[in-house]
Amino acid sequence: MASRKRKNLSGDDLKAEEEFESKLIGIVLLYPILWDMGHSEYKKQVLNGAVWEKIGKELGKSKDDHSSTSCSEVFKNSINSRRME
């Protein structure tokens, strides 16, 4: 995957990232407000932000944790890298 090659991850780090991405994608699929453009609340940024915050908490990521990429960015990067394969 393109994004992973750039990060030069290997071994346990790569496995941990892949597991995190898989778990994240599974959780995001439970919230159509984030991905279903036909959803009545899809464009409501406040609601989307609240859902991303909830997902972050589920995954142990704080929105104030600036040392790590936000869950929404990880999700977008993961989807984009899968499209590039």
Per-residue pLDDT tens over the stretch 9-53: 678 888 888 898 899 999 999 999 999 999 999 999 999 989 988
Question: CA dist 73 to 11, 21, 28, 40, Å?
Answer: 23, 11, 12, 23
Cβ 27 vs Cβ 55: under 8 Å: yes
d(CA 78, CA 3): 8
28 or 8, which is more confident: 28
59 or 66, which is more confident: 59
Quote the pTM value.
0.69
